[in-house]
Homo-oligomer: A and B are copies of this chain.
């Protein structure tokens, strides 16, 4: 049990060199002779040596560790981003850590405190809310961080997110080119920047084509499936001739689909929506979805963070918006 670990000292003794030399071998210092290097490496292998990263971190005050702070674990979008981050950082020799803020600012604060204690080299945060004063803790400690997916008002910080306006614009534009004239909108929670931006894109596309924005077939709510279901009913009541609907997220879309299913309205409505998880499994009819480059967002955030970690120079915050892709199944183009 709890077998004593082999230390640099043990290796040094065995190889008849000093610990300094062993350390140099470990760190590929060019000024150790071939023979010495070989001898030390042999000893290390034989004894099954492993660096003690804790000792190393204490000395060098760098952990090669980055924390991801996510409001939820059970969320495919966030996890896709997390996978992208992890993949990018791993190839650069960093270890990634995921923490859960459970959609609470308080918890977020606690987790950030933990990061500071664990002395991460950097952090990538999917904000739990629209307030971010507590991120200053990181600033004070000199820990760089990048926001993802959401922007926090009045916060000067790096951020990476989808170009929501343009994604919505492109998707709605495509539908119009396909012949849509009247397009309803399930607009979600306009307190969220993402929903607001998507709605903006929708409106802009209508305007560009000279289609008037008709409030009777536009409704806002929260972002859940129930609301999608309910609003779908309301929109159809307002305009039974409606044939196209734009939904700002997956759950609103699924809720709306369910309404149609339950009311046996079948393939009457064509949807334009954000996100596409499960679409190919669940739906049998045509749709347009805006696919966010989630892993790409993660990778970009990771790269941006690495730059901050590596360069000592200050530079102004950068906000990077990645272009989503428009997926159309069955529409003309």
Complex CA gap A3/B137 in Å reads 11
Instruction: Verify A3–B141 contact, CB threshold 8 A.
Output: yes
Contact with B along A67-96 (1 / 0, CB 8 A): 000000111100110110010000000011
State whether the Cβ of A278 lies closer than 8 Å to any Cβ in chain B.
yes
Complex CA gap A38/B83 in Å reads 46
State whether the Cβ of A51 lies closer than 8 Å to any Cβ in chain B.
yes
Instruction: Verify A281–B225 contact, CB threshold 8 A.
Output: yes
Copies in the complex: 2
Closest to A118 in B: B53
CB-CB < 8 A to A2: which residues of B?
142
Q: Which of B140, B283, B284, B312 contacts A3 (CB 8 A)?
A: B140
Q: Which of B54, B98, B114, B261 contacts A284 (CB 8 A)?
A: B261
CB-CB < 8 A to A95: which residues of B?
114, 118
Instruction: Verify A284–B255 contact, CB threshold 8 A.
Output: no
State whether the Cβ of A18 lies closer than 8 Å to any Cβ in chain B.
no
The segment from A55-63, A126-134, A209-217, A323-331 found at the interface with B is A55-63
Closest to A115 in B: B95
Complex CA gap A76/B116 in Å reads 29
Instruction: Verify A1–B314 contact, CB threshold 8 A.
Output: yes
State whether the Cβ of A117 lies closer than 8 Å to any Cβ in chain B.
yes
State whether the Cβ of A220 lies closer than 8 Å to any Cβ in chain B.
no
Q: Which of B74, B98, B283 contacts A80 (CB 8 A)?
A: B74
State whether the Cβ of A37 lies closer than 8 Å to any Cβ in chain B.
no
Complex CA gap A283/B258 in Å reads 7
Complex CA gap A225/B283 in Å reads 12
Instruction: Verify A281–B261 contact, CB threshold 8 A.
Output: no
State whether the Cβ of A135 lies closer than 8 Å to any Cβ in chain B.
no
Complex CA gap A5/B222 in Å reads 43
CB-CB < 8 A to A97: which residues of B?
97-98
Instruction: Verify A55–B52 contact, CB threshold 8 A.
Output: no
Min CB–CB distance A4 → chain B (angstroms): 10
Contact with B along A222-233 (1 / 0, CB 8 A): 000100000000
Instruction: Verify B281–A53 contact, CB threshold 8 A.
Output: no
CB-CB < 8 A to A53: which residues of B?
117-119
CB-CB < 8 A to A5: which residues of B?
141
State whether the Cβ of A24 lies closer than 8 Å to any Cβ in chain B.
no
Count chain B CB atoms within 10 A of each CB in A114, A140, A282 and give the residue with the most.
A282
Min CB–CB distance A186 → chain B (angstroms): 14
Complex CA gap A50/B225 in Å reads 44
CB-CB < 8 A to A190: which residues of B?
none
Given contacts A52-B117, A73-B83, 18 further A-B contacts (CB under 8 A): A1-B142, A1-B314, A2-B142, A53-B117, A54-B57, A54-B58, A54-B118, A58-B58, A74-B79, A75-B79, A76-B76, A95-B118, A96-B99, A251-B281, A254-B281, A261-B284, A278-B278, A278-B282
Min CB–CB distance A50 → chain B (angstroms): 6
Sorted nearest first, the 5 A-B pairs with minimum C-beta distance are A2-B142, A73-B79, A262-B284, A225-B281, A98-B98
